[in-house]
Amino acid sequence: MTRLTTALFLLTLVAACSTAVAGGTGGTTKVGVIPFGSSDDNSRWISEKLQNFLGSALENNAEYTVVDSRSLNRAFQDAGFDPSGFRYGVPPEFIPVAGGTLGADLMIFGFVTPTGGGEYQVSWNIMVVSSGNIISPASGTVPKNTGPVQELAVTMVEAIGEQIGGRVEDTFNMARYHASVENWPMAIMTYKQVLDVDPAHTEARLALAGVYMMTAVDSIPQAETLYNGILSGQPGNSDALAGLGDIALRRQQYEAAKGFFEQAIEADPDNASAYAGLASAFNGLGMVDQAIASFESALAANPQNLQARYALGLLYAQTGDYTAAIPHMQAILEVRPDWDNIRMRLVKAQEETGAYGAAADNAIIVLNRNYDDQTAMYAAQLEAKAGRTSSAVSRLEGVIGSSGNRQAYLLLATVYRDSGQRSAMQGVFNRLQSAYPGDPTANYMVGSFYYQSGVSKAQVSELTQANIPTWEAAVNDLNTAIGFLNQVSGYRSSQAQNMVTAARNAISLCEEKIDRVRRYSE
């Protein structure tokens, strides 16, 4: 039983530029300021002043809550570190333990050292307690003077949000890029790096869960943990509910999936993927007719309900009623022309109904927005079916010129063959052989092409004189196929040899039919 696929992984998530890791009182970020290590009396004076000024600057910022010094000392004692040793600097391994005891989100620590000429360097670090990740901003330089130390403290507090927000945004954008090119290992690693800095980053958690849901990754339990984690803090998160619904679909738990998607829609009536998932759940329960009736009723009550149209388009396509599906998809695209996912579904529906020109036009819209070779080759195939041979040829030549894609050569040869330009087809094969001399894949592709062409002609069964040229052409194609297939090596060699055996059998049958017709004619 085939089910509809939901598009829960949205690569267009807006990067969050959160200024801190919220988790303290009232949604503020709870920060512990550890006395900076020092190497002499003047450095120690600066360290003490800096701790006081940092505390004041943080308290004056509505985003932060500061851990008081007595609680800080007690937490380090409980962690096994003597607070009297603060002057020498704190070993980093004690900080997340103490920070966890305090319920702190961030811990600030560092060291003050003289640089000569009455100047002192302040090196400082921000630790994200939940992950132990350390960010080390640029150090500052101050004299032993109250005013400059206070100014430095204010600057440091301002930099906390910039450092965390900047690190999160840069890493999140890199993760999105890796996901967009389907480099799943790097996407997973960089999304985890975002969460190392900001564990509460909802967009990153949803995106990482989406990667885990990819078929090529197939780490459903990890995705489930992430979705449940989001819901523990945000019970009405529509995307997380829809994610759990998709997991239930994967497990064929259709009733549970239906419940999750209904909750997701209740939380966000504009969640298109939840509507698509609900359609899948109805389909899994064998309730397609009921689902269509339900969504049609919703649409009748509100003709602007794009989500109901989305679900109806998918359901009608699922049942093979592409004619009914097309108007719903077109209506969605009138309002949301950037929804490439639904546009490619429209392309498929139009192809199925024989509207090749319209299908090609829509595929080209997607292609112009986000070029890739596969979409370009698909558009060229549709153009060829629509009789736009020159456009198809030009598009495939563009793919070959930019990337040398082997499949584009074969498609170009097919276009020439279907348009009766056999000499041009032979020229494409010659170019393929030149581009990939001795290449097993190229030999397999060309051999397969001639094999299919020869077998198709060999299947002509009526024993008449008029069919002899067809059988002779079949023999030529099959012999050509054998020549290429015999050069195939590697993992495709066994398939190639199976075709060689079948080609020889077909040649024998063709020769037998030719002989019988000729003897009968005599």
pLDDT class for 240, splitting at 50, 70, 90? very high
Long-range contact pairs involving 508-516 (C-beta distance under 8 Å, separation at least 24): 509/458, 510/458, 510/471, 510/472, 510/474, 510/475, 510/478, 511/471, 511/475, 513/461, 513/463, 513/467, 513/471, 514/468, 514/471, 514/472, 516/463
Do 90 and 139 lie in one domain? The reply is yes
Closest CA to 163 of 155, 175, 174: 155
Q: Hey, CA dihedral for 247, 248, 249, 250, is it positive or negative? A: positive
CATH number, domain containing residue 129: 3.40.50.10070
Do 366 and 495 lie in one domain? The reply is no
Q: What is the Cα–Cα distance from 81 to 494, expressed in whole angstroms?
A: 68
pLDDT above 60 for 290: yes
Q: Look up the domain containing 396 and give its range.
A: 355-421
Do 32 and 140 lie in one domain? The reply is yes
Contact 273, 243 (CB under 8 A): no
Contact 201, 138 (CB under 8 A): no
pLDDT above 80 for 363: yes
The secondary structure element, H or E, covering residue 134 is strand 133-135
**What local confidence, expressed as pLDDT, does residue 477 receive?**
93
In a domain, 71, yes or no: yes
Contact 108, 177 (CB under 8 A): no
Do 45 and 84 lie in one domain? The reply is yes
Domain end position, chosen among 374, 392, 421: 421
Do 38 and 155 lie in one domain? The reply is yes
Please indicate whether residue 359 or residue 433 has the higher confidence score (pLDDT): 359
pLDDT class for 468, splitting at 50, 70, 90? very high
Closest CA to 70 of 90, 55, 58, 88: 55
Domain end position, chosen among 112, 135, 163: 163
Do 47 and 159 lie in one domain? The reply is yes
CATH number, domain containing residue 457: 1.20.58
In a domain, 390, yes or no: yes
pLDDT above 60 for 452: yes
Do 389 and 470 lie in one domain? The reply is no
Partners of 143 in the β-ladder: 119
Compute the average pLDDT of residues 239-262.
Answer: 94
Give tens-digit pLDDT for 49-89.
Answer: 999 999 999 999 888 999 998 999 999 999 999 988 888 88
Do 494 and 366 lie in one domain? The reply is no
pLDDT class for 10, splitting at 50, 70, 90? very low
Do 142 and 62 lie in one domain? The reply is yes
Compute the average pLDDT of residues 332-358.
Answer: 93
Q: What is the Cα–Cα distance from 110 to 9, expressed in whole angstroms?
A: 40
Please indicate whether residue 438 or residue 82 has the higher confidence score (pLDDT): 82
Give tens-digit pLDDT for 186-207.
Answer: 889 888 888 877 888 899 999 9
Do 108 and 40 lie in one domain? The reply is yes
pLDDT above 80 for 417: yes
Do 416 and 450 lie in one domain? The reply is no
**What local confidence, expressed as pLDDT, does residue 12 receive?**
28
Structural domain count, the chain: 3
In a domain, 39, yes or no: yes
pLDDT class for 15, splitting at 50, 70, 90? very low
Largest CA distance in the chain: 119
Do 414 and 443 lie in one domain? The reply is no
In a domain, 86, yes or no: yes
In DSSP notation, 67-104 reads: PPHHHHHHHHHHTT--GGGGGG---GGGHHHHHHHHT-
pLDDT above 70 for 20: no
Domain end position, chosen among 103, 135, 163: 163
Burial class (CB in 10 A: 0-12, 13-18, 19+), 427: middle
